[in-house]
């Protein structure tokens, strides 16, 4: 979501003549887009600001001014405290007010220190400029599109409801218009984003409410958009229509990120997840019945307060039961203001380390086994960008794995049929079969295999 937000901020500033640069020394404006989800991410901001201060001093010696800003959830959570801890900062702006960024930057340039973290009453998406065709092109053939923000679920470990605010769904017409612009600029795969994206319930064109399944069906009609994904989903919001969409909609990729966090019912309850381990397993059974080749992904937290060895073994068990193609796992990080931070029985760091190691070993094993199971089979590959080595492109499998392919297989943005020949530790290798973008009669085009 921060990647998407950063792009929207860059688009908003483009109107004032700002252009992105990869060289920080050249930047007249440095905006850190920050994450508050775990302590490590939040603390990184201050070490980064230390480096930026040196840079600002250097530039000042050359008579060049630099405006320094902090955006994102750390900005939202810490506000004025950031100015106190890091006086180098000129502006602090929370995620709800990015549409005000151009005016905030102008004020900051006059020397004013600004903290803009009120929840805006106006809809920021209506006021942010639409992604420019040129900027979309330069960003590639896959794109994110935020459809839902905020969260009303209040899991006891999580800061999101406090930093991103209440759940808000963007209306259908806004989303479709943005998706059409992306498709016109050459984007072939769109990932719909939301803190709980499957809780999305937006206003339809006729004023009635739509669910995510219906939105996906509508987006599948947009010419040029061939692959749809959505993330992150909450198990409680996985409704029948959405499961049916996985069965019926070829453009919906067979991959689902559905975090469970823990396999222990006791800890699930303490986390306020409002479902049991058995509920989650039953749900996955239904999803797999509808879409047998779906690959599961998840998030896990080890060492939530009160987690015993037994609870952790329940997590290992659920991982074995589900068999994940991919997953993210974290040590519990106590976040100020959340109920989890007040709980007794915080788990020692050493225990968290051991559990994380064991869990990650199991998840890595499953991930590799999944990759190996694809060897010898054919898949469709979306070519995304040049590879690290000359003569190679990198693309993505339907299951989000990076796949290395010979550049003669097609062009960036093509979907090509390939046979997987080998599973490396981070990517798959393949031999091209045919370019599905070549004309349907199979007459070989210059760029196809």
> Which residues are at the interface with ligand SF4 (CB under 6 A)?
151, 153-155, 158, 160-161, 195-196, 234
Which one of ligand SAH, ligand SF4, none interacts with residue 301, CB within 5 to 8 A by kind?
Answer: ligand SAH
Q: How far is the CB of 176 from ligand SAH (least distance, A)?
A: 24
Q: How far is the CB of 299 from ligand SAH (least distance, A)?
A: 3
330 binds ligand SAH (CB under 6 A): yes
User: Does 232 sit behind a cis peptide bond, omega within 30 degrees of 0 on the bond before it?
Assistant: yes
Collapsed DSSP state (helix, strand, coil) of residue 130: coil
Which one of ligand SAH, ligand SF4, none interacts with residue 230, CB within 5 to 8 A by kind?
Answer: none
Given the DSSP bridges, would you call strands 67-71 and 91-93 parallel, antiparallel or unpaired? parallel
299 binds ligand SAH (CB under 6 A): yes
Q: How far is the CB of 273 from ligand SAH (least distance, A)?
A: 8
Query: DSSP readout, 41-81?
Result: HHHHHHHHHHHHHHHHHHHHHTT---EEEEEHHHHHHHTHH
Which one of ligand SF4, ligand SAH, none interacts with residue 330, CB within 5 to 8 A by kind?
Answer: ligand SAH
The CA distance from 219 to 252, in Å, is: 10
Q: How far is the CB of 287 from ligand SAH (least distance, A)?
A: 16
195 binds ligand SAH (CB under 6 A): yes
37 binds ligand SAH (CB under 6 A): yes
Which one of ligand SF4, ligand SAH, none interacts with residue 335, CB within 5 to 8 A by kind?
Answer: ligand SAH
Query: CA-CA distances (angstroms) from residue 103 to 21, 145, 417?
Result: 21, 24, 48
Nearer to ligand SAH, 194 or 432 (CB): 194
User: How many Cβ atoms from other residues are within 10 Å of residue 441's Cβ?
Assistant: 5
Which one of ligand SF4, ligand SAH, none interacts with residue 72, CB within 5 to 8 A by kind?
Answer: none
Nearer to ligand SF4, 59 or 153 (CB): 153
Closest by CA to 407, choosing from 392, 428, 425, is 392
Q: How far is the CB of 441 from ligand SAH (least distance, A)?
A: 46
157 binds ligand SAH (CB under 6 A): yes
Given the DSSP bridges, would you call strands 114-116 and 142-146 parallel, antiparallel or unpaired? unpaired
Nearer to ligand SF4, 334 or 392 (CB): 334
131 binds ligand SAH (CB under 6 A): no
**What backbone torsions phi and psi does residue 431 show, to the nearest 5 degrees?**
-115, 135
Closest residue to ligand SAH, Cβ-based? 299
**What backbone torsions phi and psi does residue 300 show, to the nearest 5 degrees?**
-135, 145
Nearer to ligand SAH, 35 or 55 (CB): 35
Nearer to ligand SF4, 142 or 338 (CB): 338
> Which residues have CB under 8 Å from 427's CB, separation 6+?
394, 401, 402, 403, 404
Collapsed DSSP state (helix, strand, coil) of residue 379: strand
**Which H helix or E strand runs over 218?**
helix 212-219
Nearer to ligand SF4, 146 or 196 (CB): 196
Q: Where are the beta strands (DSSP E) in 387-436?
A: 392-396, 402-406, 415-423, 428-435
Closest by CA to 393, choosing from 439, 345, 352, 447, is 447
Which one of ligand SF4, ligand SAH, none interacts with residue 119, CB within 5 to 8 A by kind?
Answer: none
Closest by CA to 222, choosing from 265, 253, 261, 177, is 177
> Which residues have CB under 8 Å from 300's CB, separation 6+?
259, 260, 261, 262, 315, 319, 327, 328, 329, 330, 359, 363
Which one of ligand SF4, ligand SAH, none interacts with residue 38, CB within 5 to 8 A by kind?
Answer: ligand SAH
Could you say which of 332, 370, 393, 399 contacts ligand SAH (CB under 6 A)? 332
> Which residues have CB under 8 Å from 263's CB, separation 6+?
277, 314, 315, 316, 317, 318, 319
Joined together, the tokens standing for residue 333 give 């990080």
Q: How far is the CB of 196 from ligand SAH (least distance, A)?
A: 5
Return the residues of window 258-297 that contact ligand SAH according to CB under 6 A: 259, 261
Q: What does the per-residue mask of binding to ligand SAH show for 383-422, with x meaning CB under 6 A?
A: ----------------------------------------
Residues contributing to the site for ligand SAH (CB under 6 A)? 37-38, 157-158, 160, 195-196, 232, 234, 259, 261, 299, 301, 330, 332-333, 335
């Amino acid at each position: 979501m921060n990647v998407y937000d950063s792009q929207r901020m860059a688009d908003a500033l483009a109107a004032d003549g700002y252009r992105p640069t990869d060289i920080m020394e050249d930047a007249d404006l440095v905006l850190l887009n920050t994450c508050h989800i775990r302590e490590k991410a939040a603390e990184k901001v201050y070490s980064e600001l230390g480096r930026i201060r040196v840079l600002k001093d250097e530039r000042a010696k050359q008579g060049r001014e630099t405006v320094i800003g902090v955006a994102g959830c750390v900005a939202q959570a810490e506000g004025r405290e950031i100015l106190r801890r890091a006086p180098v900062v000129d502006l602090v702006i929370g995620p709800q007010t990015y549409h005000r960024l151009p005016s905030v930057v102008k004020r900051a340039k006059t020397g004013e220190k600004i903290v803009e973290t009120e929840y805006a009453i106006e809809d920021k998406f209506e006021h942010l400029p639409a992604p420019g065709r040129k900027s979309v092109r330069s960003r590639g053939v896959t794109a994110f599109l935020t459809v839902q923000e905020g969260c009303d679920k209040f899991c006891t470990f999580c800061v999101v409801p406090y930093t991103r605010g209440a759940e808000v769904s963007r209306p259908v017409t806004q989303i479709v218009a943005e998706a059409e612009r992306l498709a016109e600029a050459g984007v072939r795969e769109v990932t719909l984003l939301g803190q709980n994206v499957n809780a999305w319930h937006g206003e339809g064109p006729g004023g009635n409410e739509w669910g995510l399944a219906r939105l996906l069906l509508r987006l599948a009609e947009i010419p040029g958009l061939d692959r749809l994904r959505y993330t992150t989903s909450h198990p409680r919001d996985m409704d029948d229509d959405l499961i049916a969409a996985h069965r019926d909609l070829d453009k919906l990729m067979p991959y689902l990120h559905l975090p469970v966090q823990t396999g222990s019912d006791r800890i699930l309850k303490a986390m306020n997840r409002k479902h049991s381990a058995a509920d989650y397993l039953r749900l996955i059974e239904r999803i797999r019945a509808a879409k047998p080749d779906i690959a599961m992904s998840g998030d896990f937290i080890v060492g939530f307060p009160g987690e015993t060895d037994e609870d952790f073994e329940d997590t290992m068990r659920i991982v074995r039961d589900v068999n994940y193609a991919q997953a993210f796992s974290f040590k519990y990080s106590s976040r100020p203001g959340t109920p989890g931070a007040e709980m007794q029985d915080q788990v020692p760091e050493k225990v968290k380390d051991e559990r994380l190691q064991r869990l990650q070993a199991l998840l890595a094993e499953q991930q590799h086994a999944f990759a190996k199971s694809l060897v010898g089979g054919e898949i469709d590959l979306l070519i995304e960008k040049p590879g690290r080595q000359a003569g190679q492109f990198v693309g993505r499998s339907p299951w989000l794995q990076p796949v290395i392919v010979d550049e003669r297989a097609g062009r960036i943005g093509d979907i090509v049929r390939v046979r997987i020949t080998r599973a490396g530790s981070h990517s798959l290798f393949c031999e091209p079969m045919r370019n599905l973008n070549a004309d349907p009669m199979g007459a070989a085009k210059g760029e196809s295999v």
